[in-house]
Structure formats: structure tokens, C-alpha cells
Structure 1
Amino acid sequence: MSTTYFISDHHFGHKNIIDFENRPFSDVDEMTSNMIAKWNAVVRKEDKIFHLGDFSFLNKERTQEIVSQLNGYKILILGNHDRGRPRTWWLEAGFDEVSEYPLIYMNFFFLSHEPMYMNKQMPYLNVHGHIHGQKYEGRHYYNVSVEQLDYTPVSFEQIRDSVVVDEEQA
């Protein structure tokens, strides 16, 4: 049985992100190899993974090399740093599906790169990235930026179960 995973904001090839977000890597090569290893430690070839944007700052050839090393059926929701390239660029780089817009998953989860405004009465959860080490308060948001997850994709079940725990504690 396959599992569905989520993650965002790898910023492959972005040297300055190491300092901006205080990432524990000495250079982009170490960051790249570490993030690929952490992805493949949990995601199997038969799994599905949603990448919620800001995947790579590299050229298509180098991005393709990275994508080809990553397990799973890969769906990219374009982030602010991905939008300079058309959907076709990302498909040619190896993503199985690419969306320019947020998606709704399982009729309850809004998948987006940037956090979406969620009214307190709304029964939905916004799974997002973009804000890296920051976190929105409240039960309506789940940040899947790599900095929040020790660079390791998180499963749908982990997200779902954390929402149930939060509601029981509320």
C-alpha cells in the first residue's frame, strides 16, 4: 500500500538559504545530498509526494538530476521561487504533475505554497510551506517547510493525526 507525503522549500542550489534559515550544512552539496537521503529514507518508489513549492534554484539539467534521484510520484505546487519557469519546465525536469494553484486533498486539506487565510469557523486545514522556520498559530495550519520537519517528508497520516490531537486538546 502506498503512502502520501508532503514537504516544501528545499531551495536546492540556493547557497544563501543556508545562512538565511540557519540550515546545518557547510555548503550546497552537503545540503543537497542530505536532503535527498532524508527524502528517500521515508518515501518509497510507489508512494506519492506533494512538494509545496520552492524546489530548486538550479538549471533544468541539474534539477532533473536531483528529481530523478528522489523516490515517489512527485506532484509540485509552484512556489514563489518556482513561478519564473513554466509548468512544462518542471514537467521536463521530472515532476509527474505540476499545479500553478493550490489543491484540495481529501476534501479537507488545502495544499498551497504560501499560507492561506483560514477563518476560525472554517473546518479545513491549510498544509503549506513558504514561511520556513516560522509557524502560524492555530489548528488551521500545518507548515511542511523542510526546517519544520528535519528535512524529512511528513506523511498524510502524521498530519491528520496531529490535527485530531490538537482538537482533543483544544
Structure 2
Amino acid sequence: MPKVYMISDHHFGHKHIIDFESRPFTDAEEMTETMIERWNAVVGKEDRVIHLGDFSFLNMEKTRSIVSRLNGSKMLIMGNHDRGRSRAWWLEAGFQEVSEHGIIYNGFFLLSHEPMYMNKHMPYVNIHGHIHGQKYEGKQYINVCVEHWDYTPISFDTIKAMVVPNEEQ
């Protein structure tokens, strides 16, 4: 049965992110190849990945090349660095679905690029990216930036297990 994975903030082609976020790569090429390998090590051809933004800083040809090498069908929720390009651009780059805004997923999870305001009375868990190595406190926020997950997509089942006790799943 196909699985669903989530991840954000690859910043493909952004060499300065290595220094900004202390990523363990010598250059953008090593970063790209390592992140593609880690994606494909867990995501199968039939699986689905929801990318929560800031995918690539590269041109169409190079971005399309990376997308085509990644296993699974891919949805993009556009991040602040993706919004300079149209939905059509990202679809042409190889994403099967593109959303300019956050979405409600599985009835209980608010998927967004930037963390959304949540209070303890809101019935959602916000799965987000954008803040890289930082983390919000509490079970209402799950940061899926690559820095938190060893540059590897995290399964939605793992995310659910973090916030929903077994008897409620």
C-alpha cells in the first residue's frame, strides 16, 4: 500500500543555505545528490510526498531534472521562496499538484509552509516548514524541515503517531 511522506525546505541549488543552517555538505552539488539519495531510500515509486515549500532555487531545466529523479508523486505547498514562480511553473517542473496556500489534510492536520498561529483550543496540528533548525514547543506543531529529519522525508504515519495515541488512530 502506498505511503504518504512530508518534508520541506530542500533549497536545491542554494549554496548559502549550507552556511546559514550549518548543513553538513561541502557544496550545493553534494547537498543535492545526498538529499535525492535520502528521499529515494525511503520513498517508493507508488508513494506520495507532500513538500511543504522552498523546494528549489534553480532554473526550470535543473529543477525538472531533480523532480524527475525523486520517487513518488509529488505535491508542493508553495513556500516563500517558491511564490516568485507560478503554479503553472511548478506543475511544468514535475509536481502533480501545487497549492499556493496551506491545506487541511486528513481532517486534523493543517499543512503550511510557515507555522500558523495555533492555540490549545484549536483542533488541528500544524505540520510546517520554513523555520529550519528551530522548533516550536508543544504537540500542535511539527516542523518537517530537512534539518530535523536527516534530509529524509518523514512518513505521515510517523507524524500521526507523534500526536495521536495508538487507540485513536
* Fold shared by both chains (TM-score > 0.5): yes
What residue is the counterpart of 1:168 in the other structure?
A: none
What TM-score, normalized to structure 1? 0.96
Unaligned runs of 5+ in 2: none
Matches within 5 A, 1:24-63: 24-63=24-63
- Runs of 4+ with deviation above 6 angstroms: none
Matches within 5 A, 1:87-166: 87-164=87-164
Unaligned runs of 5+ in 1: 166-170
- CA-atom RMSD, angstroms? 0.7
How far, CA to CA, are the matches of 2:62 and 2:153 in structure 1? Answer: 21
Measured against aligned partners, the alpha-carbon deviations of 1:55-102 in whole angstroms (never above 9, x if no partner) come to: 000000000000000001100000000000000000000000000010
Matches within 5 A, 1:69-80: 69-80=69-80
How far, CA to CA, are the matches of 2:17 and 2:126 in structure 1? Answer: 24
- The DSSP-based 3-state class of the residue aligned with 2:94 is coil
Residue 119 of structure 1: how far off its partner (Å): 1.3
Residue 120 of structure 1: how far off its partner (Å): 1.0
What residue is the counterpart of 1:64 in the other structure?
A: 64
- The DSSP-based 3-state class of the residue aligned with 2:164 is helix
How far, CA to CA, are the matches of 1:120 and 1:34 in structure 2? Answer: 38
The residue identity in structure 1 corresponding to 2:96 is D
Residue 123 of structure 1: how far off its partner (Å): 2.0
How far, CA to CA, are the matches of 2:151 and 2:3 in structure 1? Answer: 18
Aligned residues: 165
The residue identity in structure 1 corresponding to 2:11 is H
Residue 122 of structure 1: how far off its partner (Å): 1.1
- The DSSP-based 3-state class of the residue aligned with 1:50 is strand
